[in-house]
Each structure stands twice: as C-alpha cells, then as structure tokens.
C-alpha cells in the first residue's frame, strides 16, 4: 500500500447467515472498493439498505467482514488488514486512533453526559478534572443545555443524544473517523457546529469516512465518494 494511503478497502463483501431462519442468507453489500489518502474525507452513498452502515461496521469490526480486505496504515507506520487482524490489535487501534459516531447512541447506563464525553480522555491518561472541563466546553459548544451535563443521556432527546455521541467520538481527535448520519436529528444550528468541528479536525489531519443523507452540509467536507448500488431483490 503506498505510504500516502491511510485506508484501502478492496472487494469487500458481507453476508449474514440467519440460522434462526433456516440458514437464510442476507446480502449486506458486495464488491466495495475505495482508497483514501491520509487527511481526506470520503462519502459512502447509496439507497437505504444498500449497506452503508454495514461497511462502516466492518471497518470498525463490529461486523465480521466476509470477502475482501481493509488495509489500514497505523500511526506507527504499520500496514494492517482490519478484516483479519486479531481482536487485540483491533481494540488497540480503536482506543488510540479510530473513532466511530454511530447512527444511534448506545449510552453507557447511569453515566452522566459529561463523563460519557470525558471518558476517552481519562482513558488516555488526562487528569479527570481537566477531562471534565474539556468535555463541558465541547458540550457547551454543541449547544447542550448546562442542566443536562450531569444527567444521564438515556433520557435525552434524539438530537441531544446524537450530540453527546458525537462529542465522545471527537473529544480526542482520532486519525480515522467513521461517521454514520451524525447530523440526522439535529437542527440547523447544531448541524453547523458539527460541521465546523469536523472541518477543524480535518484541517488537523483526521481522515473520514461518512454516511449522510442528500443535501446534508457534511457534503461540503468531502473529497471523494463511493456509491453503493441498490441491491438486486433477493429470493
């Protein structure tokens, strides 16, 4: 893999075998290939159900990729196939260099919003008081009401949850950021802030793969695209 490429996905495919339905096979996606230079942003597009989220999950390895490879250039210059890497290697890369903003928030239960956001910092050794201050500043910037900082995100609105989720993923800017509709439930003002935060991160070198709907202001950050075709109806 040439040294300026950070991520190279080649002929990636994912099939689900549903044993509870007699071994029925469901196609997630197939034949996905793209290469992404360090610091660039790529949009994954395609109709609903085309497999956009599944591609991101394969890169993060929440899904086990089937065919194909996901070559990633690590911070220390290594070249690793995330599709085949050991779990321990994936965990190390996740904690040090990869961020993922999911479509939905799976908040840790009974953890106040500010701590949900601060945790990646404390996990990396930032003193708790400083981590909390930075988390508060980010929540403030994202327009989360002060009164909510010490409340549990489980009870938040969709847009509030999404911003907490986003804050957690970017508070410690990763080298590679995966974004799955990070602005879907946001109002225009909040969306503007998210785009501003992302563009600052991009300027500082974060590479991104993003899924968003048509007309989203995230489009302005993208350098490239990968279109997933609609799938043939399955028997």
Partner 1 sequence: MTPLLAVRGLTKRFGAGCGECLDRTGALRETNRCPRCGAILACREVSFDLYPGEVLGIVGESGSGKSTVVRLLHFDLEPTAGEYRLAVADAAAGGGGRNLFALSPFQRRRIRNEHMGIVYQNPRLGLRLKVSAGGNIAERLLMAGWRHVGRIRERASELLRQTEVPLARMDEPPRNFSGGMQQRVQIAKALSTRPAVLLLDEVTTGLDVSVQAKVLDLLRSLQRELGIATLVVSHDLGVIRLLTSRTIVMRHGEIIEQGLSDQILEDPQHPYTQLLVNSVL
Ligand X SMILES: Nc1ncnc2c1ncn2[C@@H]1O[C@H](COP(=O)(O)OP(=O)(O)OP(=O)(O)O)[C@@H](O)[C@H]1O
- Cα 81–84–85 angle (5° rounding)? 75
Question: Does the CA dihedral 171-173-174-180 come out positive or negative?
Answer: positive
Residue from 45, 53, 136, 162 touching ligand X (CB under 6 A): that is 53
Q: Report the C-alpha gap between 10 and 46 in whole angstroms.
A: 18
When CB distances are held under 5 to 8 angstroms depending on the partner's kind, the choice from ligand X, partner 1, Mg ion, none that residue 78 binds is none
34 binding partner (options ligand X, Mg ion, partner 1, none; Cβ < 5 to 8 Å by kind) = none
Q: Is 152 in the site for partner 1 (CB under 8 A)?
A: no
Q: Which of residues 122-151 bind partner 1 (CB under 8 A)?
A: 122-123
Which residues are CB-neighbours of 181 under 8 A, at least 6 positions away? Answer: 103, 211, 212, 213
Beta sheet of 176-180, edge-to-edge order: 98-101, 176-180, 207-211, 41-45, 224-227
**Partner residues linked to 35 by β-bridges:** 8
204 binds, among ligand X, Mg ion, partner 1, none (CB under 5 to 8 A by kind): none
Determine if 8 is a binding residue for partner 1 (CB under 8 A): no
Please report, for the chain, how many H helices and E strands are present, in that order: 6, 9
Binding track, positions 11-40, relative to ligand X; x by CB under 6 A? -----x---------x-x------------
Q: Shortest CA distance to 109 belongs to which of 139, 168, 153, 144?
A: 153
# chain residues binding partner 1, by CB under 8 A: 19
49 binds, among Mg ion, ligand X, partner 1, none (CB under 5 to 8 A by kind): ligand X
Residue 18 is a binding residue for partner 1 (CB under 8 A): yes
Report in angstroms how near the CB of residue 132 gets to ligand X at its nearest.
34
Binding site for partner 1 (CB under 8 A): 16-20, 57, 61-64, 87-88, 90-91, 108-110, 122-123
Q: Which residues bind ligand X (CB under 6 A)?
A: 16, 26, 28, 46, 48-54
């Amino acid at each position: 893999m040439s040294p300026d490429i950070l991520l190279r996905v080649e002929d990636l495919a994912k099939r689900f075998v549903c044993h509870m339905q007699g071994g029925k096979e469901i196609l997630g996606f197939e034949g996905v290939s793209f290469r992404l230079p360090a610091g660039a942003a790529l949009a994954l597009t395609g109709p609903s159900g085309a497999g956009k989220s599944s591609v991101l999950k394969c890169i993060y390895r929440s899904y086990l990729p089937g065919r194909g490879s996901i070559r990633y250039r690590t911070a220390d210059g290594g070249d690793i196939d995330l599709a085949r890497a050991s779990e321990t290697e994936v965990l190390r890369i996740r904690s040090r260099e990869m961020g993922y903003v999911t479509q939905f928030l799976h908040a840790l239960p009974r953890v106040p919003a500010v701590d949900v956001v601060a945790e990646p910092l404390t996990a990396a050794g930032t003193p708790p008081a400083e981590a909390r201050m930075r988390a508060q500043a980010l929540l403030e910037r994202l327009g989360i009401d002060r009164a909510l900082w010490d409340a549990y995100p489980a009870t938040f609105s969709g847009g509030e949850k999404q911003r907490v989720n986003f804050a957690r993923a970017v508070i410690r800017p990763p080298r590679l950021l995966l974004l799955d509709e990070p602005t879907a439930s946001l109002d225009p003002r909040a969306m503007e802030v998210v785009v501003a935060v992302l563009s600052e991160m991009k300027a500082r070198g974060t590479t991104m793969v993003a899924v968003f709907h048509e007309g989203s202001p995230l489009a302005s950050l993208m350098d490239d695209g990968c279109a997933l075709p609609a799938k043939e109806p399955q028997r």
